[in-house]
């Protein structure tokens, strides 16, 4: 891995008796990083610790090699944050608030105004930028939140559930925007419990469940699979028995089989077994592993 932009060692966070994060060790490279987990998995807690907004119970985190606990201001000067909930003064216009957010990020006042206008155009709020934020719809608020998170030109943006509450069109637009952030040289940590959104936008996945780290690796590694998916027309019993007798590992769901073979070509083996047993074939192909498959499997394993 190239130099990690985020690292955590022995990270624990407890709220009273509830352990939000448990012994999390991770290193994450630059790029678009998906932070995956169910509600309550510890995603928001991890993000707040990375910003130095929350102190961990034990352990340390570094962002661009700087400790978020010892030097939170140095970390925040390179990071933008889009919180999950609202964070707007309702009586202020989007242009004023985003411009002010830029100043809070250290940009000069004159530059802030210009950049606010550019960023609001980027997120699709050019027409609405002089309207009060209190009059915005959920979709517009999400866009404005993204604008305040990137207006000061951070190296890394932490997005906490940026697509929550959006309709399908709004979600599509938000995911496209997140994809574009990488083009502007920003790394993105995108927290979501919608695994499909992560698959569409991220190249690295950090998977959490009940505060524990389940996976921390490239998306393509997670999705890689050597299994072959076979859908049969008839009773799969004879084919399964024959496959297993020849050393294949087979999992069965109704008439669908996932077949894995350590040595040899699984496709050839399946062809031979079907020919021998006379079981009818509906379809055959490499198994597509989704994040959901992996998450459910990991959850089952760890639970």
User: Annotated catalytic sites, by residue?
Assistant: 161
Binding mask 33-72 for another protein (x = CB under 8 A): ------------------x-x-------------------
Least Å distance between CB 124 and another protein?
10
| Residue closer to another protein, measured from CB, 100 or 190 | 100
User: Judged by CB under 8 A, does residue 87 bind another protein?
Assistant: yes
Least Å distance between CB 269 and another protein?
51
**Closest listed residue to residue 186, CA positions, set 79, 100, 98:** 79
| Residue closer to another protein, measured from CB, 126 or 296 | 126
Q: In what order do the strands lie in the sheet with 228-232?
A: 249-253, 256-260, 228-232, 281-286
Exactly one of 23, 96, 199, 203 binds another protein (CB under 8 A); that residue is 96
Exactly one of 109, 275, 286, 297 binds another protein (CB under 8 A); that residue is 109
Q: Left if phi > 0, otherwise alpha if psi is -120 to 50, otherwise beta: which for 166? A: beta
How big, in percent rounded to 5, are the helix, strand and coil portions of the chain?
A: 40, 30, 35
Q: Are 65 and 75 in contact (CB under 8 A)?
A: no
Coil vs helix vs strand at 242: helix
Q: In what order do the strands lie in the sheet with 187-192?
A: 79-82, 156-160, 187-192, 32-36, 204-209, 212-218
Coil vs helix vs strand at 62: strand
Least Å distance between CB 16 and another protein?
15
User: Judged by CB under 8 A, does residue 277 bind another protein?
Assistant: no
- Residue 126 sits at the vertex; the CA angle it makes with 135 and 165, to the nearest 5 degrees, is 50
User: Judged by CB under 8 A, does residue 91 bind another protein?
Assistant: yes
Least Å distance between CB 152 and another protein?
7
Binding site for another protein (CB under 8 A): 51, 53, 73-74, 76-77, 79-81, 83, 85-93, 96, 100-101, 103-109, 111, 115, 118-119, 121-122, 132, 148, 150, 152-153, 184-185
């Amino acid at each position: 891995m190239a130099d990690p932009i985020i690292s955590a060692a022995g990270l624990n966070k407890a709220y009273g008796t509830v352990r939000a994060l448990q012994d999390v060790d991770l290193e994450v490279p630059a790029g678009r990083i998906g932070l995956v987990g169910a509600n309550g998995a510890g995603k928001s807690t991890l993000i707040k610790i990375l910003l130095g907004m929350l102190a961990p119970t034990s352990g340390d985190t570094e962002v661009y090699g700087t400790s978020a606990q010892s030097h939170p201001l140095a970390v925040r000067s390179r990071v933008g944050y889009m919180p999950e909930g609202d964070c707007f003064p309702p009586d202020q216009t989007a242009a004023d608030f985003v411009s002010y957010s830029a100043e809070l990020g250290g940009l000069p006042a004159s530059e802030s105004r210009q950049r606010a206008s550019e960023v609001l155009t980027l997120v699709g709020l050019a027409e609405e930028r002089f309207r009060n934020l209190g009059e915005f719809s959920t979709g517009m608020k999400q866009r404005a939140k993204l604008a305040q998170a990137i207006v000061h030109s951070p190296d890394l943006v932490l997005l906490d559930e940026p697509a929550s509450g959006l309709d399908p069109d709004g979600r599509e637009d938000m995911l496209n925007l997140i994809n574009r952030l990488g083009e502007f040289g920003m790394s993105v940590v995108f927290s979501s419990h919608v695994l499909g959104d992560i698959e569409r936008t991220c190249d690295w996945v950090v998977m959490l469940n009940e505060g524990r780290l389940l996976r921390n690796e490239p998306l393509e590694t997670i999705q890689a699979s050597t299994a072959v998916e076979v859908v049969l027309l008839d009773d799969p019993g004879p084919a399964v028995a024959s496959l297993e007798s020849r050393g294949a590992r087979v999992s069965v769901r109704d008439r669908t089989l996932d077949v894995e073979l350590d040595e040899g070509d699984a496709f050839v083996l399946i062809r031979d077994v079907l020919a021998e047993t006379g079981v009818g074939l509906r379809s055959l192909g490499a198994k597509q592993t989704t994040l959901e498959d992996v998450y459910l499997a990991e959850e089952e394993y760890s639970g």
